[in-house]
Amino acid sequence: MRFGILLYLRFTKKKIKMKMFKLMFVTMGVFVINAFTINAQPQIIAHRGFWDCEGSAQNSIFALSKAQQSGFYGSEFDVHLTLDGMLVINHDNAINGLLIEDTPYNQLKKIKLSNGEKLPTLDSYLKQGKKSGNTRLILEIKPHSTKEREDAAVAKILQTVKRLGFEKQVEYISFSLNICKTLRASDPQAIIAYLNGDLSPAELKALSFNGLDYNISVMQKNPEWVSEAKKLGLTVNVWTVNSESQMHEMIALGVDYITTDKPLLLRDIIGE
């Protein structure tokens, strides 16, 4: 009887030790995963290309080439549809006093950027993008005056990207909810992030978007959206983060991407 009790006690003790070992192993695994997540660094996206250097200009072919040479994750740029259906790269909806969507390309093609380049077309920009398959092209479709114009811009852009074989290298962003919805309806495989900052991660997930791409002020007001987005499988990008303190703040928050006019500064900080 006594021998049986001793055997039972030894067996019970072994089981307790095994449970403790398993618990310790799982805890260590969770710690390693959490540590990896905390230490993960965001990818760098050059805002309007890498233009903050000699000989460059915002949204220029040269700015894209500098972003490619520098090895940044991506180069962001802005696309408009002209009156006669050409796609051109420019941030504002007007250039030299001409509203792009109300102006034929024949007038716009004479315009020069500050570095002497011609106003780029989407074709010319993508052809430069093809020279480095490692650089993601973050294509912002600018809002247009009507839904019809926006839908036409989306159709033309998707057609151009497909024709040049860039489906896997281009990611789409827009302030226009209509543009993002039209993109998703037109291309189920497209990577789409919404810019306007007025929708929660859950709302973006319900729309089948891939991520949020919000101004730093939005993320500072809603820091919990980072973890919420990641739980839902969404990516988090933040723009335009240009100061050292802002960069440290967003890195600590755990965002996936940072869009900046100062990509070299951000790389130096990430490298610390």
248 membership: H or E segment, kind and range: helix 244-253
Domains of the chain, by residue range, sit at 1-31, 43-270
Please say if the pLDDT value at position 93 is more than 70. Answer: yes
Please say if the pLDDT value at position 115 is more than 60. Answer: yes
Q: Are 88 and 80 in contact (CB under 8 A)?
A: yes
Higher per-residue pLDDT: 265 or 27:
265
What does 14-76 look like in DSSP terms, one character per residue? Answer: HHHHHHHHHHHHHHHHHHHHHHHHHHPPPEEEETTSS-SSTT--TT-HHHHHHHHHHT-SEEE
Higher per-residue pLDDT: 153 or 37:
153
Q: How is residue 228 written in tokens?
A: 């919420």
Please say if the pLDDT value at position 260 is more than 90. Answer: yes
In tens, the pLDDT along 156-180 reads 999 999 999 999 999 999 999 999 9
pLDDT of residue 24: 44
| Residue 40 pLDDT level (bands cut at 50, 70, 90) | confident
Average pLDDT, the chain: 90
Please say if the pLDDT value at position 270 is more than 60. Answer: yes
Closest-CA residue to 60 (of 85, 98, 88, 82): 88
Higher per-residue pLDDT: 101 or 25:
101
Please say if the pLDDT value at position 35 is more than 60. Answer: no
In this prediction, residues 64-74 reach a mean pLDDT of 98
First to last CA, the chain: 67
pLDDT of residue 32: 39
In this prediction, residues 221-236 reach a mean pLDDT of 98
pLDDT of residue 36: 40
29-38, 68-77, 227-236: least confidently modelled range: 29-38
Given this structure, which CATH class describes domain 43-270? alpha beta
14-18, 69-73, 114-118, 161-165: least confidently modelled range: 14-18
Q: What pTM was computed for the model?
A: 0.86
In this prediction, residues 67-79 reach a mean pLDDT of 98
Alpha carbons 262 and 113: distance in angstroms, whole number: 20
Alpha carbons 176 and 62: distance in angstroms, whole number: 28
